[in-house]
Amino acid sequence: MPNGYMGKILWIDLSTEKLEEEELSEEIYRQYLGGYGLATKLIYENMPANTDPMSPNAIFGFFPGLLTGTVAPLSGRFMVAGKSPLTKTWGDSNCGGYFGPEIKKCGFDAILIKGMANNPKYVTIIEDERQIVDASDLWGLDVVQTENMLKDKHGSVQIASIGQAGENLSLISGIVNDKARIAGRSGFGAVMGSKKLKAIVLKGTKKIEVADKDALIQHTKDYNEGINNATAGGIEGYRTLGTTMGNEILFQIGDTPCKNWGGTKEEFPSERLSKISGVEIDKYKQKSYGCFSCPVRCGAIMKVPEVNLEETHRPEYETCASFGHLLLNDDLMSIFKANDLCNRAGIDTISAGATIAFAIECYENNLISKDDTDGLELTWGNSDSIIKLLSKIINREGIGDLLADGSKIAGEKLGRGSEYAMHSMGQELGMHSPKYYKNMGTTFAFDPTPGRHTTASLDFFVMGPIIKPNGLFEGITLPKKFKRPGEDRSEAEKLFTAIMQFTHSLGLCEFLYVFQKYPLLELVKAVIGWDLDISEAIKTGQRIQTLRQAFTLREGIDIIKNKLPERTVTVDYLEDYRGYCEKIGWNPENGYPLEKTLQNLNLEFVIKDLY
């Protein structure tokens, strides 16, 4: 039995209703870890180029990180990954809660789905018994109703499911576990819906063996004590307010976009901003909520009687920004309601809010009228119309059918208004501004899965201990002049991008970058038994990033020509990217990994596809 990982994956073919195990070698884990590292390797080699992501031949799956399921701090994450139907690039979406560890407890390091069912199905893996079950009675339910019904039937289980948005094949829909933890980006709710797969139900009893239990416990205890003893600063803020601690301050410093990325601070003044602050939201908190193995617990369960919500999850900063600042909406009750609607329906709050902003700007400029909106008056801050339009998008009713696939496709179908769609290759931009975090423009435009704030954006994540003298991880220090254009900045981008691929593939929460020094390699050794040095960790991260890039290029995406909406950026993000390409060993003229780079990273199998 290996340490840390289970050594096998499960393939589910919905067309044939066959479930087959596959064993993987230690070499694959050492080179690709888990999460989207392992995902990229398996999907790249098993799904042909240019496969329609909504076809039976498409493959997607659930991939816990290499450390997920152990007590290693902040390691409870998993990835949903495959080809994005929204951007047609490599797609991945990070999620927490308790579903990822349960995959490991069921004995697998990944569950991959292919084929297409003839009618709605759900899959159960319960204590070694595996079944594909009729889900006709679940189809049409939201994810909370689905979880409740499945738990009534199967007991204490972990569930990932789609709501109405995924069933309706909305390209901005996601997959939900723990009733409100959503793998929201890249459109995988639509992929799951296209396969007529309503849910996956898990209950496992397998134990994850570790190489050095005493060392794992000690490193975990030391790290958690530092977290628990923090009484000020970022850790305490996250513990109390979660990501909503940024609702006011990030807008004030110029990070949060408003009025569809075209507004000013004066249009959302402090007296309005304070109405949707983290402090105001916290008044409705019933209890804290945290993901598996998290000592911070930045989530919360809320009760909001004003809108008849007896139990709902706290909206995250991104949700508050997309349904608040972006729409000039200071009605906190509508944000609670929008968050609950999105979570239940399984739709990405960032894309949903940004698509509504697109619709409002089209309405404001007379590109659509009340006749088009079924009588809704789409004006900035009109919370009643915002909620009604969101419901239409979820159910593909009226104008909601036009908007359900995001702002880019809506503009193309309308034949007008595309200049108001704030996206990258079809994915609405995360709620952080490249005007403030300069490197975010490069990330939004050129990451293999575009438009995402949670990928490796140097300026966004160096606000934490990574830039302190003792570093975030042992052996990693950034060049001193990394904030200025030039060699140091490109080198820093190379290092940071690599290390973030490494930590994502371990299943680590990215908030570890803003907390305190993390025993990264020590935990890998304690759990897996590998005596890695930081240079191998960086090379592993570069391998994963390069294979993600190769997947997107193999799909025919001319990534170097991607441009962001002008109102979202002020810097030359292309020049930044070219410097990074030179450092990582990619052609700066087109983003293609050089042949010698592919050879050095043991990616020779990619050469035939790109050359």
**CA separation for the pair 430, 423 (Å, rounded):** 9
Residue 92 has pLDDT above 90, yes or no: yes
Per-residue DSSP letter, 430: P
Q: Is residue 423 within a helix (H) or strand (E), and if so which, with residue range?
A: strand 423-424
Is 513 inside any structural domain?
A: yes
Amino acid 476: pLDDT: 85
- In this prediction, residue 233 has a pLDDT band, given cuts at 50, 70 and 90, of low
Query: pLDDT tens digit string along 535-553?
Result: 999 999 999 999 999 999 9
Written in H, E and C, the secondary structure of 301-335 is: EEEEHHHCEEEEECCCHHHHHHHCHHHCCCCHHHH
Q: Are strands 60-64 and 111-114 parallel, antiparallel or unpaired?
A: antiparallel
Query: pLDDT tens digit string along 461-506?
Result: 876 677 666 678 888 888 888 888 889 999 999 999 999 999 999 9
Is 429 inside any structural domain?
A: no
**CA separation for the pair 516, 227 (Å, rounded):** 8
Question: Under DSSP, is residue 310 helix (H, G, I), strand (E, B) or coil?
Answer: strand
Question: Under DSSP, is residue 585 helix (H, G, I), strand (E, B) or coil?
Answer: coil
Mean pLDDT of 299-327: 98
Query: pLDDT tens digit string along 164-211?
Result: 999 999 999 999 999 999 999 999 999 999 999 999 999 999 999 999
Considering its fold, how many domains does the chain have in total?
Answer: 3
- In this prediction, residue 232 has a pLDDT band, given cuts at 50, 70 and 90, of low
Query: pLDDT tens digit string along 41-64?
Result: 999 999 999 999 999 999 999 999
Is 209 inside any structural domain?
A: no
Query: pLDDT tens digit string along 358-409?
Result: 999 999 999 999 999 999 999 999 999 999 999 999 999 999 999 999 999 9
199 and 276 housed in the same domain:
no
Region of 346 (left: φ > 0; alpha: ψ -120 to 50; beta: rest) is left
Mean pLDDT of 61-89: 98
Last residue of a domain, one of 360, 386, 421: 421
Amino acid 461: pLDDT: 80
Amino acid 472: pLDDT: 86
Amino acid 359: pLDDT: 98
**CA separation for the pair 289, 303 (Å, rounded):** 13
Instruction: Determine whether 207 is exposed, middle or buried from the number of CB atoms within 10 Å of its CB (0-12, 13-18, 19+).
Output: exposed
Number of alpha carbons in the 13 Å side-chain half-sphere of residue 592: 16
**CA separation for the pair 378, 363 (Å, rounded):** 6
**CA separation for the pair 404, 396 (Å, rounded):** 6
Last residue of a domain, one of 151, 172, 203: 203
Amino acid 508: pLDDT: 98
- Give the pair of three-digit tokens for residue 70: 């152990």
**CA separation for the pair 576, 585 (Å, rounded):** 15
Amino acid 471: pLDDT: 75
User: Residue 434's CB: how many other CB atoms inside 10 A?
Assistant: 26
Is 517 inside any structural domain?
A: yes
Amino acid 367: pLDDT: 97
Query: pLDDT tens digit string along 249-266?
Result: 999 999 999 999 999 999
Mean pLDDT of 119-144: 97
- Residue 113, phi then psi, degrees to nearest 5: -115, 135
Amino acid 432: pLDDT: 97
412 and 451 housed in the same domain:
no
Q: What residues make up the domain containing 542?
A: 440-610
Q: Is residue 89 within a helix (H) or strand (E), and if so which, with residue range?
A: none
289 and 170 housed in the same domain:
no
| Whether the Cβ atoms of residue 466 and residue 478 lie closer than 8 Å to each other | yes
CATH number of residue 527's parent domain: 1.10.599.10
Question: Under DSSP, is residue 188 helix (H, G, I), strand (E, B) or coil?
Answer: helix
393 and 515 housed in the same domain:
no
101 and 140 housed in the same domain:
yes
Is 208 inside any structural domain?
A: no
Last residue of a domain, one of 173, 203, 233: 203
**CA separation for the pair 172, 3 (Å, rounded):** 37
- In this prediction, residue 608 has a pLDDT band, given cuts at 50, 70 and 90, of very high
Mean pLDDT of 128-138: 97
Strands in 299-304's sheet, in edge-to-edge order, are 285-289, 299-304, 309-313
**CA separation for the pair 341, 170 (Å, rounded):** 15
pTM above 0.75, yes or no: yes
Mean pLDDT of 100-117: 98
Amino acid 135: pLDDT: 98
CA end-to-end span of the chain? 40
Question: Under DSSP, is residue 508 helix (H, G, I), strand (E, B) or coil?
Answer: coil
Residue whose pair of structure tokens reads 């020509």 in the numeric block? 561
Q: Which residues of 356-372 are buried (b: 16+ CB within 10 A; e: fewer)?
A: bbbbbbbbeeebbeeeb
199 and 262 housed in the same domain:
no
- In this prediction, residue 328 has a pLDDT band, given cuts at 50, 70 and 90, of very high
102 alpha-carbon distance from chain centroid = 19
Q: What share of the chain is helix, strand, coil (3-state, %, to 5)?
A: 45, 15, 40
**CA separation for the pair 164, 346 (Å, rounded):** 7
51 and 147 housed in the same domain:
yes
> In 183-230, which residue ranges form alpha helices assigned H by DSSP?
188-194, 213-228
492 and 601 housed in the same domain:
yes
| Whether the Cβ atoms of residue 146 and residue 199 lie closer than 8 Å to each other | yes
Is 231 inside any structural domain?
A: no
Residue 231 has pLDDT above 80, yes or no: no
Query: What average pLDDT does the structure give for the chain?
Result: 96
450 and 406 housed in the same domain:
no
415 and 444 housed in the same domain:
no
CATH number of residue 174's parent domain: 3.60.9.10
Instruction: Determine whether 102 is exposed, middle or buried from the number of CB atoms within 10 Å of its CB (0-12, 13-18, 19+).
Output: buried
583 and 463 housed in the same domain:
yes
Question: Under DSSP, is residue 319 helix (H, G, I), strand (E, B) or coil?
Answer: helix
Is 430 inside any structural domain?
A: no
Question: Under DSSP, is residue 347 helix (H, G, I), strand (E, B) or coil?
Answer: strand
Is 97 inside any structural domain?
A: yes
407 and 509 housed in the same domain:
no
